[in-house]
Every structure is written in C-alpha cells, then in structure tokens.
Chains A and B, each alone.
Chain A
Amino acid sequence: AQKITQTQPGMFVQEKEAVTLDCTYDTSDQSYGLFWYKQPSSGEMIFLIYQGSYDEQNATEGRYSLNFQKARKSANLVISASQLGDSAMYFCAMIPSHRMGGATNKLIFGTGTLLAVQP
C-alpha cells in the first residue's frame, strides 16, 4: 500500500538550532516524488521542498534540506538555524507514481508533525 508515515506527532527545538522531522514512505513504484509542506497556525499550506526518486543529490531550499535515503525509504526534512516563525505543522507527502509533466499527480499526505520553536 502506498503510504506516508510521520512518527513524531510533536517536537520542540530551541531557536537557532537545527531540527530533523522524520518521514518514511511506502511505494512499489520506481519513479516517485516526495514533498514537504508547512502549515502555520493561520491554516494555509505552503510548499517547501521537492525530491525526485531519481535525483542523486539531496534537495535544498534555503534553510530547508531533504535527507533522502532511498534504500531506507526515508525523506527527512532538516531545518537549520530554527526561527520562531518555523513553528507550524509540517506534512510529508508523496506522489507515488510520478511522471514529469503528468497531469494526475495525486499527493498522499502523512499525518504531520507539530514543531514548536522555543526562544
């Protein structure tokens, strides 16, 4: 079954420290895409970062990086130098059968991790 698992319901981190949010996935497809979204308390869903299954390098976007371990089927999000504004719910998501340019790329979401950044 195609599934995303986020085992950390909540996490705390001190401001300016790095934090890793865990995500494991299950798919039998060879071509898939992995995504992270941020949902602050205001409710909107914000796209953060993408990793394709055939990408050889880990994706990075500013302070966000994705620690992609294909053999372990894990796609952990690393946030460096945490800021108070990083406090939010974070969702890992997958398109399990991903075709570039495909019109039916349906996202499967995990249940999320609530991150609290402490001053």
Chain B
Amino acid sequence: NAGVTQTPKFQVLKTGQSMTLQCAQDMNHNSMYWYRQDPGMGLRLIYYSASEGTTDKGEVPNGYNVSRLNKREFSLRLESAAPSQTSVYFCASGARTKGEQYFGPGTRLTVT
C-alpha cells in the first residue's frame, strides 16, 4: 500500500502562475484534507472533503480551489500564485474510527 501520495515534491512558481497539486490515497477513506505548514505556525487546514462530491473551506482557503475527483483523489489548485503561498503543502486522508489522519510526503512550493 502506498498510503497517501502527492505530486510534485518540489515546485517553484513565479507570481501569477497557476498550478495544481495532486493527491491520491489507497486506504479507502471517505475524508481528505489539504493543509499548509509554515514555520512557527504548525499545520493549518485549507480545504477538506468529507466524501466524494463534497468540499468545504478550512481555516485558510483564500487563493485556493479544490476538486474531489473521486474517492481516491483530491487536488488543490492555485489559480494565481502569490509569494504568501510559499509553504509546504500536505494532503491527508482520515480514518472514520478514531479520526486519525494519514499524511502524504508533502509538496514544497516556492513562489518568487
């Protein structure tokens, strides 16, 4: 089992460019999440999807859009990247029992 996979691992964008971060899980979890991690601030929730076909905003959704393509895949799109979006992005999927979440390896994004 691969668990949660993310692509790409690293990305450098210029201000105003767009890109999509891909995430897939093979644990048959209903819920999936996108977080960003900034120094000294822990992880903050950007968007989440409780089930296929539904998405909701988290704590810091501005500047992002998401798509829950199917049960396995949940993508995060930056339409017009800004330097403030320089961060490490983590995708996670959540188990229904205890609610623990399993994380992908992260994407390190730099916007210049």
Contact = CB atoms under 8 A, between A and B. Distances in A.
Interface of A: 4, 33, 35, 37, 43-47, 50, 52, 91, 93, 95, 98, 100-107, 109-112
A93 B101 CA distance: 11
Contact of A44 (B44, B48, B58, B103): B103
Interface stretch (B61-69, B71-79, B92-100): B92-100
Contacts of B56: 104
Interface of B: 30-31, 33, 40-45, 48, 50-51, 56, 58, 88, 90, 92, 94, 96-103, 105-106, 108
Contacts of B42: 4, 91, 109-112
A77 B34 CA distance: 25
B43 A105 contact: no
Contacts of B94: 105
Contact of B96 (A45, A103, A107): A103
A102 B96 contact: yes
Contact of B31 (A43, A46, A105): A105
A52 B98 CA distance: 8
Contacts of A100: 96-99
A102 B99 contact: yes
B71 to A, nearest CB: 12
Nearest to A50: B98
B96 A106 contact: no
Contacts of B98: 33, 50, 52, 100
B100 A50 contact: yes
Contacts of A107: 33, 43, 45, 101
Contacts of A104: 31, 48, 50, 56
